[in-house]
Amino acid sequence: MRFDLVIFDLDGTLVDSSPDIRNAINHVLRPFGVRPVSIEETRELVGEGATRLMEKIIESRSLPVAASDLLPSFLAYYGEHLLDMTTVYPGVVDALNALDGVRKAVVTNKHDHLSVHALEQLGLARYFDLVVGSETAPAKKPSPLPVLHVLERLGVSPDRAVIVGDSTYDVEAGKRAGIAAVAVTYGYRPAGLLKNADVLIHSMSDLPEVLARWEVRSKK
């Protein structure tokens, strides 16, 4: 296999956390008496970290507050209900097992402690050499800095690494760091927005074969 390292996004790629994020958003919206968010709206809003999520919510509901006013309540509620409805996507565990022997990391814009706890409780933490959340690197995706941090920590050159995610933030972060990018179409973003990825896959179970055949595919 060409790749020594596979970097995964978390939400929308390994797990579907949108129901629990929706519930946490609606918890902080409830005192304002405004329209709650749906699963679909939640999936459109997430991806840039909790602070930016609160900013988007404030903008969408014209709330007379700052993100810093909502963030503590959101994080407290979400932390208590982190895994009430969150599920691992089909094919993820099989793919991770099939990639045994290949180093793996998670790069997410989710808070570090929430990311690690979710992975541990869902039985996924054992697959990863490193988890990089929103507080680890100086900037979040789409900045390349979290990806570059992983490459440096694990001693892998960019040409031997690939990122797998469901959003333009993942693809852009990977490309700017000089690594290959695979986008999943089952996550939170429509496939039409992921055209800059090197490959699109419709199920995580497709990933091991895609990576194994990468050199053959790239020569066509």
Closest CA to 10 of 54, 47, 61: 47
100 assigned to active site: no
**Residue of 4, 9, 20, 69 marked catalytic:** 9
How far is residue 204 from each of residues 9, 11, 15, 110, 164, measured CA to CA in Å? 12, 13, 11, 21, 9
Long-range contact list for 110-118, CB < 8 A, 24+ apart? 110/10, 110/11, 110/49, 110/50, 110/134, 111/50, 111/75, 111/135, 112/136, 114/75, 114/78, 114/79, 114/82, 115/10, 117/82, 118/10, 118/15, 118/17, 118/82, 118/83, 118/86
Tell me: cis bond preceding 144? Omega within 30 of 0 counts. no
Q: How far is it, in rounded angstroms, from Cα 170 to Cα 77?
A: 27
Name the residues annotated as catalytic. 9
